[in-house]
Amino acid sequence: MNCRHCHSPLDLDFLDLGHAPPSNAYLDRSALNAPEKTFPLRVKVCRECRLVQTEDYAGADELFSSDYAYFSSTSKGWLNHAARYAEMITERLGLDGQSQVIEVASNDGYLLRNFVSAGIPCLGIEPTDSTAKAAEALGIPVLRAFFGEALGRQLALEGKRADLICGNNVYAHVPDINDFTRGLATVLKPGGVITLEFPHLMPLVAEAQFDTIYHEHFSYLSLKAVTRIFEAAGLRIFDLDHLPTHGGSLRIYGCHAEAGFATTPAVGACLKAEREAGLETDGYYATFQQRAEAVKNNLLRFLLAAKADGKTVAGYGAAAKGNTILNFAGVKPDLLPFICDAAKAKQGKFMPGSHIPILPPAALDENRPDYILILPWNIAGEVKAQLSHLADHGSRFVTVVPDLRIT
């Protein structure tokens, strides 16, 4: 396999998680006795452009199906994050009723609902029918498609070039990142702005966040790599924000290379921090496999000890990152009998690979487990606040990334 961006040979290993099913391929009961498709989950590093990427096995159409079960609006914290962004960017760019906003991977309308309520014309682009229907119910126009250069050109010909293109946690999900980026350039107005949010490679490595690696994430992004990809498409990054979301993310602000936006010192400072951390050296990636295995072993030791001591453990958050760590560790219902999730689309289904049942949060009140394993550790604070009544009755919360913590 060659690099998805610069086509250089990929011979630097980063992580091997064995074989696993797609992390959002939740199962109905009827599927439990049928064969389950799995793919190798291995990650390589390009020595030339430093794009970190999964090996090519699964196509986007196999990962993002019509009944896709991830709904962004399930998290109140994420809804608040989106509302704050919409208010900020509307003021910063002076958006109004004459503007055009396009969101790529608009999911269930968690973000564009804010532009609709402000009277700003918008369009969502979303390939999964289940989430697109939820967005349309909020009055958001949605185009059901995967985004790329051809679609960008079509929209431009239809007079739908954008003042603002936003994409939250989609850039890592695209298999052809060059085609996607050229699409952004094609549909962006000459003075328009692109904002993309994505997990930053630096905290992923620093905090051993290997559970954010799964088939739906084709790329793991540094500013160095994204800068190069943007430049190849005639785009330029002129500003960025550091965000706490997803364990540490970047929000980049992009424009056409010749646009009049001044590049802020934040861009150079981030590139310098990546360089000083060693991101451009092979050694930066050398120990990640061992650190992932240490997290896995800590989880297994905890679950086995809890069972030996007669303690009960339940999971919370049927998140993709949870599927990564459970399948890597080989955890089954004998060690984790059930996982609760607030998303109705997941309730009554089973985790892919591990086949652990997914129940409504009310099951925690009924069972009052000794330990609650929070799989989406990035929203652990929100989860603990929601389940504080269980802590009052003796339940303790557990997270395992970057290390085992019991509170």
Give residue-wise pLDDT tens across range 218-259.
Answer: 999 999 999 999 999 999 999 999 999 888 999 999 999 999
Q: Where does the pLDDT of residue 56 fall: very low under 50, low under 70, confident under 90, or very high at 90 and above?
A: confident
Rounded to an integer, what is the distance from CA 101 to the centroid of its chain? Answer: 22
SS3 104: strand
Tell whether the model's pLDDT for residue 198 goes beyond 80.
Answer: yes
pLDDT of residue 101: 98
Tell whether the model's pLDDT for residue 18 goes beyond 70.
Answer: yes
Nearest partner of 59 among 11, 22, 26, judged by Cα? 22
List, in sequence order, every beta strand (DSSP E) within 97-234: 101-104, 122-125, 142-143, 162-168, 188-199, 219-220
Percent of the chain, pLDDT > 70? 97
Q: Which amino acid is at 42?
A: R
Per-residue pLDDT of 57-112, as tens digits, reads 655 555 555 455 567 777 788 899 999 999 999 999 999 999 999 999 999 999 99
pLDDT of residue 303: 98
Taking each helix axis from N to C end, the angle separating 223-232 and 177-187, rounded to the nearest 10 degrees, works out to 60
Rounded to an integer, what is the distance from CA 199 to the centroid of its chain? Answer: 7
Fold: same for 72-285 and 288-406: yes
pLDDT of residue 70: 65
Neighbours of 266 (CB within 10 A): 18
Q: Where does the pLDDT of residue 46 fall: very low under 50, low under 70, confident under 90, or very high at 90 and above?
A: very high
Confirm or reject CATH 3.40.50.10490 for domain 72-285, answering yes or no: no
Look at the pTM and tell me if it is higher than 0.85.
yes
Residue pair 199/170 in contact (Cβ under 8 Å)? The answer is no
Domain boundaries 288-406, CATH class: alpha beta
pLDDT of residue 186: 98
Per-residue pLDDT of 254-311, as tens digits, reads 999 999 999 999 999 999 999 999 999 999 999 999 999 999 999 999 999 999 999 9
Tell whether the model's pLDDT for residue 213 goes beyond 80.
Answer: yes
Domain ranges of the chain: 72-285, 288-406
Residue pair 116/138 in contact (Cβ under 8 Å)? The answer is yes
Query: Does a cis peptide bond (omega within 30 degrees of 0) precede residue 199?
Result: no
pLDDT of residue 69: 54
Cα-Cα-Cα-Cα dihedral sign, residues 295, 300, 301, 307: positive
* Range of weakest confidence among 3-7, 69-73, 341-345: 69-73
pLDDT of residue 59: 55
Q: Which amino acid is at 77?
A: G
Per-residue pLDDT of 132-168, as tens digits, reads 999 999 999 999 999 999 999 999 999 999 999 999 9
List, in sequence order, every beta strand (DSSP E) within 71-187: 101-104, 122-125, 142-143, 162-168
